[in-house]
Chains A and B, each alone.
Chain A
Amino acid sequence: MRNLLPLIWRGNSERYRLLGSKCEHCGGEFFPQRSLCPHCRRGGKIITMPMPRQGKIVSFTLVHSAPKGFELETPYFLAIIELANGVRLLTQIVDSPAERVKTGAFVKMVFRKIFEDDAEGIIAYGYKFKVVQTVEQTPKPAQTKMIQNNPNKPGKPSLKPQKSKN
């Protein structure tokens, strides 16, 4: 891959380390990173923040017909997963027997080649996820109080946009 090198490189901290954003004003957490809080807009204060590396499957599909660059890998699982802090992302599910890939399954991050479309260009590495049998017992860093960014939780009010200055 020779094109979009700066774009790929800019995404390293997100793809390698799941580094997302947080708005200190409303507590919203985002992945991938944002330069502007979508709720507070100019009233927000964005900082980077690592996302948790565990989550669960919200929906999944088995891709048989792949786009250019992925043909050799079919069939492969894609899923929308929800991380432990409520943030969702789309990712491949690897190293998991088909019967374990289902909605609600727990997953953890692994580091893999994502894209390598020719033998002479650069390789794009980053996150994929695999199903784990139980939620990992890894020690967690001290958690600051965070507002769940999961609007699908029943009864959870969505974050109110600030009185608009925009």
Chain B
Amino acid sequence: MRKVSIIGAAISKFGEHWEKSLRDLIVEAGTKAVVDAGVEGKDIQAIYGGTMASGRFIGQEHIGALIADHLGMNPIASTRLEAACASGSVALRAGYLAVASGMYDIVAVGGVEKMTEVSTEEAAIALGGAGDQEWELFMGATFPALYALLARRHMEQFGTTEEQMAACSVKNHDNGSKNEYAQFRNKITVDDVMNSGYISEPLKLLDCSPITDGAAAVILCAGDKAKKFCDAPVEIAGSGQASDSIALAQRKSLTELSATKEAAKQAYTQAGITAKDVQAAEVHDCFSIAEILAIEDLGFFKKGYGGKAAEDGETVLNSQVSINTSGGLKACGHPVGATGVKQVVEGVWQLQEKAGARQVVGLKNFLTHNVGGSGATAVVHVLRRA
């Protein structure tokens, strides 16, 4: 398997884009990534696009074809991948495997979601399909409820507190305030989170990531050809993916996402590193408790200690490990299918030292962690300078 590098990366602004359609977002991120990579359209040999629920949100399926059409790339092979909120990462992994295998030299990978065409109630139903539609959503369980069930287990077993979970949101808003692409630029306090009103106890409004429109794209290139296009290509040093039961009730443990652990093991092994070699990471904070589970399951902190680490500031910018430098899903926004690719874009910018006010200093290995549903899919990538 040959090496694969990222030679171009771009995202659209994340937010409520009433005036932009799904197609507009695809074109925006796609063309900016191509320009960033310094390639021509004709150099791209395949497209991999991730989107979770375009059918439910806008009634449009067949997104692979749509992307190729609107980027003027017909008759290119173009495929849509879906793994709920990890759709972007599985698209990235598919593109990575296609280049690593030698099948293609240059491919485009994108993620997009247009969530604001429907009401928030309808959006909750669409997102509910990431869990067990018939046995969780059908019983009245939204995603906040599923993660709230995980939060309570974590609190009862390890003494994690609502304030510790709030600290994650506070940090993410702080980072988001430094990110011009983020949906939310305002800073918040722990009190703000504690007073934001319960969605599903113990999770409150400010523990939950928002509804967002947005797109992200990267251009992948065979490692030995990357320098032709890019001064500072970023290598995909490790890629891991794993699955778990679709419903929470069938999990072996309710205090960890074992798919995360398995995917991380694969990525670390391939990259030849362990958790302590990672200085910064974008993790899947769909809810604040998810970030705490992530930093434990990825091995940054011992199981049960994630809350304390967040509270003690051990995950802020340029601390022990900078978590969610982009603002995470919470502050940067969570256009579901785009998030996995956006995380990689953030990693590329950080490694290329283009992150401005949120630059992590002394960065060698950047990790991205993307989860589908309540943990039924997890995808981990390790990035480093090529």
Residues in A lying within 8 Å of B, measured CB to CB:
7, 11, 32, 58-71, 73, 76, 78-80, 88-92, 103, 114-115, 124, 151-152, 158
Contacts and interface: CB of A to CB of B under 8 A. Distances in A.
Nearest to B137: A67
Contacts of B247: 90
A68 B121 contact: yes
B199 A64 contact: yes
B148 interface: yes
A103 B152 contact: yes
B254 A89 contact: no
A67 B124 contact: yes
Contacts of B138: 114-115, 124
Contact of A80 (B134, B198, B199, B248): B248
A55 B252 CA distance: 18
A35 B128 CA distance: 23
A75 to B, nearest CB: 8
B142 A63 contact: yes
Contacts of B124: 67-68
A92 to B, nearest CB: 6
A58 B153 contact: yes
Given A68-B121, A88-B250, A90-B247, A59 B140 contact: no
Interface string B107-136: 000000000000001101100100010111
Given A62-B200, A64-B198, A78 B250 contact: no
B200 A90 contact: no
B139 A92 contact: yes
A151 B202 CA distance: 26
Contacts of B152: 59-61, 103
Given A80-B248, A80-B249, A63 B149 contact: no
B200 A88 contact: no
Nearest to A76: B140
The 8 closest A-B pairs by CB, nearest first: A61-B148, A88-B249, A151-B252, A62-B201, A68-B121, A59-B149, A70-B140, A65-B199
A94 to B, nearest CB: 11
A66 B140 contact: yes
B71 interface: no
B214 to A, nearest CB: 23
Contacts of A92: 139-140
Nearest to B124: A67
Nearest to B140: A70
Contacts of B250: 88
Contacts of A151: 252-253
B153 A32 contact: no
B145 interface: yes
Given A64-B197, A152-B253, 9 more contacts: A11-B134, A59-B149, A61-B149, A63-B199, A64-B199, A64-B200, A67-B140, A80-B254, A90-B248
A90 B250 CA distance: 10
B190 to A, nearest CB: 20
Given A89-B135, A92-B140, A152-B252, A78 B125 contact: no
Nearest to A149: B250
B144 interface: yes
B145 A61 contact: yes
B40 interface: no
A91 B152 CA distance: 16
Contact of A7 (B134, B139, B151): B134
B156 interface: yes
Contacts of A76: 140
B149 A89 contact: no
Q: Which one of A7, A61, A92, A158 has the greatest number of beta carbons of chain B within 10 Å?
A: A61
B141 interface: yes
A158 B252 contact: yes
B250 to A, nearest CB: 7
Contacts of B142: 63, 65-67
A70 B144 CA distance: 15
Given A61-B201, A63-B140, A66-B140, A32 B145 contact: no
A32 B134 CA distance: 10
Given A64-B200, A65-B200, A80-B248, A90 B139 contact: yes
22 contacts: A59-B152, A59-B156, A61-B145, A61-B149, A61-B200, A61-B201, A63-B141, A64-B198, A65-B144, A66-B140, A66-B142, A67-B137, A68-B121, A69-B140, A71-B121, A78-B139, A78-B140, A80-B249, A89-B135, A90-B132, A90-B249, A114-B139
